[in-house]
Amino acid sequence: MARYILRRIGWTVVLLALVSAVTFVIFYALPSADPAVLRAGRQASPELVAQIRARLGLDDPLVVQYWTYMKDVVLHFDFGFSYQSGESVRAAIVSRLPATISMTVGALVIWLATALPIGVISAIRRRSLLDRVTMTGALLAISAPVYWLALVALYLFASDIGVIPIFDGANTYVGITQDPVQWFASLLLPWLVLAAGFSAFYARLLRANLVEVMGEDYIRTARAKGLPERRVVWRHGVRAAITPIVTVLGLDIGVLLGGSILTESVFNIPGVGRYAYDAIRTADLPAIQGTVLFAAFFIVVANLVVDIAYAFLDPRVRYG
Amino acid sequence: MNDLRLRRARRPLPSRPLLLGCVATVALVLGACGGSSSDKKVAAGGFASGLPTDGQKRGGTLKLLGSEGFFHLDPGGSYFQLDYMVTYATQRPLYYFKPDDPKTAVPDLADGPPQVSADNKTVTVKIKSGIRYGTNKKTAITGKEVTAADVKYAFERGLNPSVANGYEGVYFPLVGADKAKGGPISGITTPDAHTIVFKLTKPFGATTARALVMPLTVPVPKSYVAPLDAKQPNPYDAQPERQAFTGPYMISDYKAGKTITLVRNPQWDPKTDFKPAYLDRIEWTIDADPNVAGRQIFSGTGLANADTPTAGAVKRFATRAKDRITFTPLGNRFVGVNTQRKPFSDINVRKAFAAALDRRAMLLARGGPLVGQLATHFLPPTIPGYDEAGGAKGTGADYLANPSGDPAVAAKYMKLAGFPSGKANGEKVVMLGENDSPAKETAQITRDAIASLGFDVSFRLLDQSTLYSKFCGVRTELEKIDVCGFAGWLPDFSDPYAMLTANFYGKSITAVNNSNASLFDDPAVNAAMDKAALIADAGDRAKAWGAIDRRLVDKVAAVPFLFDNVANIASKNVQGVVGQWIASWDLAYTSLK
């Protein structure tokens, strides 16, 4: 088991190095803005642009720039500073992580708390009114773009601009350490919006899996043994049907910890996603690189955790 | 995201000419400024005027909602509209434009108008006494009086790559600046603590004096800031709350990309300043979603926009809250064509293109008459020389006579260009445009106009930053492109020099960071610009630049299509006052109701 985990961690490091290299290459290979020109402003002389370029190290060969960057990341956990604001990228991301983690965890709790019962009940009571209503609702929630859903939610329910003002709206986020009550109130609507699509997807996925599992022979055997239906469903049905969901869940958590750009943007929650969006818009390579690495880190770590969990659950994975 | 917000965040800004020392006194300058009265509240069309009025309320907190962040809050690097809003509220440049009078810069840190020598090569400025630095944490310079040496250091550090001022070399051709990299500049001397003298390499004083409104002139105490200037990134920029402030407000807190908070500067003495500084506190939220922000400002209290509102917000305010939206003219927009490459190197093809272009459709694509007026030349209404260039009527050129386009006139010029049928024969034209609305739509209209002349248009859309920094701004790339969709300019200060030279002066064609999108290099126009830059008298200067503007239209250096109007919106209890010269809220004049 230890060898398996070490091997997975090794691959994680390789993957992160590859992601950083690919980001570097994409930034330079595809048309993108010149950071020195953006830094210098419209009237700046070519000499000034050249000075800035030299100062930012942009004249160095790409390999040298990449090596310098990775050396700082590995040895000092230093992601450089933003070309745009001069702020340390590490400090910027770390200062924004609590907001992103808050968003992710809150939404996760809501979507699991809604998706699991809906998925199970819909599967068990197939073609019932409840099944039809929840699955139609799920279809709508999946189809609704999160940006649109966030705007509609604000226009309907935000305390400042909503028709039924019951939730705190945009620009109200505060950190949990600053004011826990306000933190909770400000995130309630974003959590619901972010959770809506995920909840719908997970409910449909669980329903489909559970419908299939409930038709398996061992379920029939369990029933034939006289086990109570609740036990059949939860111990034998859901336990088997939920395995693919754990895989997807790991990926989704990783992606969300890398930043939920649209939800953060609409509600103006200063998270990593919004930082990434601004970095891309302003061709701020250190910030782009930092956020991509962080996002990749969360995704591969989440995958790693899922894989290790699988290895514990299924010994075949360890020796596969 | 609309391109206007990006444009505003990336372009130099307008101002107005200073009255020169040799022809004006402080009394005259101040006397030129309009008084305030309540009848100024409403502008044409029933919209708010954005002008200051009598009896504005003192105190309270204004909350600004913006989607864009700042580029540089160090006054040495501040060069963009949002940066200016903060810089001019927290610092005092040598000269300042009162919000209601964008035509006359008044002494702010300066104690009287600039004195320009007879040979136009020396500019002398006296500085007020009793202006002191305020800081958030007590330091050695807290409460220390500003001296001329601090302004001198501001110019010196502007050439330090850690500050990298973008315009110092353009408007301040200082003796010795070419060798300076942040150290002393021999062309700046301070004969006493309250006098600074700028010696120029050429007779450029008339223009330099007008540029003394720029943030570069904000004093910077060397003893305090020089150690910061040695660092990378420069903390005076990255941590602006550490600055030494001279204005009515101080930056008390800044979180890049999130918020900035301004509070009163305890060292600011209103007796030395004309700014009323009504508000106690200004809280600025960055990264707000513009759609949501527009609604919050509409429904809420104590709120105003920081950057350009969305078209939806403008429409909502213009129809339902006219008294809370202002429109301020600013800058121009035009289509640049490559004047050094076939087919547009032929002036008749350029005239045909101008005739074919549906400029009215371009205006509608950008939002209609609220967002601006059709342009027939390049100097906008707020810039001296506009009337001399033909005003709203234009120069009378037949290829600009019909704003909806005139195929017959276009065919006439195509025939003159050697296309007997009045159409080209499918010759290839390479065009790049911006991929954000509404620039995308105007680019498509431009493409259609070129195609209607019989050309085969190769058309590609890119994001604005890439388009400018990798293609339109790079000469070797631009030489291979016929139409680069980079079109429009906001002048650094309200002077025709600042408006026209960046786009149409031959020497503005540079290897990188090129701003001459047409690669227009006409020796006669260059000479006329050189000559007009030396003119000190405001009337003569306007005449000379108006004539240059006409000549640019005659030569079809580009095709003008719009003079912009910038919208600003506020909540019902906010009396927003717009600095007309930058078309943004003047935070030192805005108040709550």
For residue B12, CA distances in Å to B39, B245, B489, B490, B558 come to 32, 23, 8, 6, 20
Does the distance separating the beta carbons of A171 and B288 come in below 8 Å? yes
Q: Does the beta-carbon distance from A87 to B256 stay under 8 Å? A: yes
Q: Report the DSSP beta bridge partners of residue B48.
A: B42
CB count, 10 Å around CB of B341? 16
A161–chain B nearest CA distance, Å: 6
- For residue A195, the distance in angstroms to the closest alpha carbon of chain B comes to 20
Please state, in angstroms and rounded to a whole number, the distance separating the CA atoms of residues B470 and A33. Answer: 6
Q: Please, which contacts does B232-236 make with residues 24 or more away whose CB atoms are closer than 8 Å?
A: B232/A55, B232/B162, B233/A81, B233/A82, B233/A86, B233/A87, B233/B162, B234/A86, B234/B74, B234/B162, B234/B163, B235/A86, B236/B74, B236/B76, B236/B163
Residue in A closest to B300 by C-alpha: A160
Burial code (b: 16+ CB inside 10 Å, e: under 16) for B475-502 equals beebeebbbbbbbbbbbbbbbbbbbbbb
In one-letter notation, the amino acid at residue B149 is: A
Whether residues B510 and A283 touch (CB distance < 8 A) is answered with no
Tell me whether residues A32 and B287 touch, CB distance under 8 A: no
CB proximity B511 to A under 8 Å: yes
Is there a contact between A42 and B300 if contact means CB atoms under 8 Å apart?
no
User: CB B80 to CB A41 under 8 A?
Assistant: yes
- Stretch 364-423 of chain B: residues touching chain A, C-beta under 8 Å: none
Give whichever of A169-173, B196-200, B484-488 has the largest mean pLDDT: B196-200
pLDDT band at B1 (very low <50, low <70, confident <90, very high): very low
* Cβ-based contacts of B502 with chain A (< 8 Å): 42-43
Per-residue pLDDT at A45: 74
User: How much is the pLDDT for B486?
Assistant: 62
- Integer angstrom CA distances of residue B383 from A76, A123, A262, A270, B235: 53, 71, 41, 40, 36
Q: Do A274 and B11 touch (CB under 8 A)?
A: no
Contacts of B256 in chain A (CB under 8 A): 82, 85-87, 92
B112: exposed, middle or buried (C-beta count within 10 Å: 0-12, 13-18, 19+)? middle
The whole-number pLDDT of residue A300 equals: 84
pTM here is: 0.85
Q: What is the pLDDT of residue B553?
A: 97
Tell me the domains of chain B and their CATH numbers.
15-34+43-304+572-592 (3.40.190.10), 329-566 (3.10.105.10)
Compute the nearest-CA separation of B37 from chain A (Å): 33
Please tell me the class of the A89-319 domain: mainly alpha
DSSP structure class, residue B200: B
Residues of B in contact with A42 (CB under 8 A): 10-12, 79, 166, 502, 513, 515
What does the pLDDT average to over B486-490?
78
Give the closest-approach CA distance of B452 to chain A in angstroms: 30
Amino acid of residue A287: A
What pLDDT sits at residue A315?
Answer: 61
In B, minimum Cα distance to A50 occurs at B512
| Residue pLDDT, tens place only, B2-25 | 333 333 333 433 332 333 333 222
Q: Does B65 touch chain A (CB under 8 A)?
A: yes
Place of tokens 């050697």: B418
State residue B150 phi and psi, 5-degree precision.
Answer: -70, -35
Q: Is the pLDDT of residue A297 over 80?
A: yes
Q: What's the rounded mean pLDDT across residues B588-592?
A: 98
- Alpha carbons B285 and B45: distance in angstroms, whole number: 31
Per mean pLDDT, which range of A302-316, B226-240, B491-505 is the poorest? A302-316
Most confident of B263-272, B288-297, B434-443: B263-272
Q: What is the pLDDT of residue A100?
A: 93
Residues 216-275 of B with CB under 8 A from A: 232-235, 237-238, 255-258
List the single residue in A38, A43, A51 with the smallest CB-CB distance to B465. Answer: A38
Asked if B166 is an interface residue toward chain A (Cβ–Cβ < 8 A), one would say yes
Given B164, B257, B285, which is nearest A48 (Cβ)? B164
Interface of B with A in 455-474 (CB under 8 A): 462-463, 465-466, 468-471, 473
Residue pair B77/B237 in contact (Cβ under 8 Å)? The answer is yes
Taking the CA of residue B71 and the nearest CA in chain A, the distance in Å comes to 6
pLDDT of residue B38: 46
- Go through B288-302 and write b for each residue having 16 or more CB atoms within 10 A of its CB, e for each that does not: bbbbbbbbbbbbbeb
Judged by CB atoms closer than 8 Å, whether chains meet at A86 and B169 is answered as no
pLDDT of residue B4: 32
Encode pLDDT of B521-531 as tens digits. 999 999 999 99
Average pLDDT rounded to a whole number, residues B477-506: 88
B387-404 per-position pLDDT tens digit = 999 999 999 999 999 999
CB contact under 8 Å between B295 and A87, yes or no, is no
| Full DSSP string of B30-72 | HHTSPPP-GGGSB-GGG-B-----TTPPP--EEEEE-SS--S-
The interface predicted TM-score (ipTM) is 0.80
User: Beta B574-575 vs B591-592: how paired, if at all?
Assistant: antiparallel
Q: What is the pLDDT of residue B277?
A: 97
Range A108-114 average pLDDT = 95
- How distant is the Cα of A317 from the closest Cα of chain B, in angstroms? 45
Q: Which residue of A has its CA nearest to B80?
A: A41
Chain-chain contact of B233 with A86 (C-beta, under 8 angstroms): yes
Distances (CA, A) of B200 to B163, B170, B172, B183, B303: 22, 12, 7, 17, 45
DSSP B17: P
Asked if the C-beta of B332 comes within 8 angstroms of chain A's C-beta atoms, the answer is no
User: Looking at beta carbons, which residues of chain B come within 8 Å of A266?
Assistant: 289, 291-292
Average pLDDT over residues B191-212: 95
Q: Where in chain A is the domain with CATH 1.10.3720.10?
A: 89-319
Residue B420 has pLDDT above 80, yes or no: yes
Interface of B with A in 104-163 (CB under 8 A): 161-162
- Mean pLDDT of the region B52-70: 94
- Taking 3-state DSSP, the helix, strand and coil percentages for chain B, each rounded to the nearest 5, stand at 35, 20, 45
Which residues of chain A lie closer than 8 angstroms to B238, CB-CB?
A: 81, 85-87
Contact A266 B492 (CB under 8 A): no
Burial (CB count <10 Å: 0-12, 13-18, 19+), residue B136: middle
Q: Hey, is A29 helix, strand or coil? A: helix
Beta-bridge partners for B570: B304
Give contacts of A44 with chain B, Cβ < 8 Å.
Answer: 164, 166-167, 513
CB contact under 8 A, B257 and A52: no
Q: Which of B322, B9, B545, B550 is nearest to A42 (CA)?
A: B9
What is the dihedral angle through the alpha carbons of B500, B506, B509, B510, rounded to the nearest 10 degrees?
A: -120
For B36-56, what is the mean pLDDT?
77
Of all helices (H) and strands (E), which one includes residue B334?
A: strand B325-335
Closest CA to B107 of B240, B236, B275, B263: B275
